[in-house]
Amino acid sequence: MSGTLVFVTDYGLEDGYAAQMWAAAWSACPGVRCVDGTHLVPPGDVLSAAYRCKVLARAFGPGSVLCVVVDPGVGSDRPAVAVDCDGVSCVAPDTGLVSYLWTEARRRQAVRLRIPPGVSATFHGRDLFAPLGALLACGTPIAGCGEPLDSPRLREDLLPVAEGDRLRSLVVSVDHFGNCITGVRPADVGGRDVAAVTWPGGETGRVVTTYADIDSGMAVLWNSAGHLELAARDESAAHRAGIRVGAPVTVELR
């Protein structure tokens, strides 16, 4: 194991919640290396968190552990899960946060976590997920962390739906630059070319390779994580087009 624990949360940086996650991880396993993947997921945004979880799993690779906590249902009866997907482990509320990890992996294992007595009803990130993530990063087998689970909960809306020459998808994340990232991946287009992308109130047939290729207006390109995204030159595509996470998009293929 690499001993690297990567945090992905919507906790922000103002209130000390992120730092408390580090403290809990170090208390559970003093040798663990902690990395802030991001604490700026929009509050409660499971779609964006699932995408960023995938991106960071690709970056850190096998042996790393993700601690993903976007948890509007904290303290309720929502389950918690730990998964191993092609050697990348993840602990998270079982609300669809590991959907991309699970569906894109060839080797998978999942367990439903036990909620130990005494944990805060409002801060499972500190009292459950961070300590367990640290133990996994320091070599604890995932099988001993809970009861075997056939599959975690999957967010089906993260995955495109094919309808003839069209793919229906959503904007699953909007990045810092305002690029609108869809759920469409190369495997979804099956070797075909993208002809156009439409969204509520707009459309573009301009398909480019780089951001510099956009002279004006909106365009579509494949991003570094292998997702189709809408972008604009020197401005936020989200602001220009009035697009938010969850907005429907239709991809025309030829």
Token output for 30: 């003093």
**Alpha-carbon span 39 to 61, nearest angstrom:** 20
- pLDDT in the model for residue 117: 87
Would the pTM of this model clear 0.85, i.e. be above it? yes
Contact indicator for 98, 92 with CB cutoff of 8 Å? yes
| pLDDT, tens only, 11-36 | 999 999 999 999 999 999 998 999 99
Cβ neighbours of 180 (radius 10 Å): 29
Domain-wise residue ranges, the chain = 4-148, 160-253
Cβ neighbours of 201 (radius 10 Å): 9
CATH of 4-148, one of 3.50.50.60, 3.40.50.10790, 3.20.20.140, 3.40.720.10: 3.40.50.10790
pLDDT averaged over every residue in the chain: 95
Q: Which of 139, 140, 119 is nearest to 69 (CA)?
A: 119
**Residue 249 clears pLDDT 90, i.e. is over it:** yes
Provide the CB-side half-sphere exposure for 96 (13 A, CA).
16
- pLDDT in the model for residue 2: 57
| pLDDT, tens only, 53-86 | 999 999 999 999 999 999 998 888 899 999 999 9
**Alpha-carbon span 100 to 85, nearest angstrom:** 10
- pLDDT in the model for residue 25: 97
| pLDDT, tens only, 97-154 | 999 999 999 999 999 998 888 899 999 999 999 999 999 999 999 999 999 999 999 9
- Please compute the mean of the pLDDT values over residues 162-168 and round it to a whole number: 95
Provide the pLDDT confidence category of residue 216 given band limits of 50, 70 and 90. Answer: confident
Q: Could you identify the residue written with the tokens 């904007």? A: 171
Q: Which of 38, 18, 17, 27 is nearest to 135 (CA)?
A: 27
Query: Amino acid identity, residue 249?
Result: V
Beta carbons within 8 Å of 40's beta carbon, 6+ residues apart: 10, 12, 13
- pLDDT in the model for residue 159: 94
Q: Which fold has domain 160-253?
A: Elongation Factor Tu (Ef-tu); domain 3 (2.40.30)
Tell the burial category of 249 from Cβ atoms under 10 Å away from its Cβ (0-12, 13-18, 19+).
buried
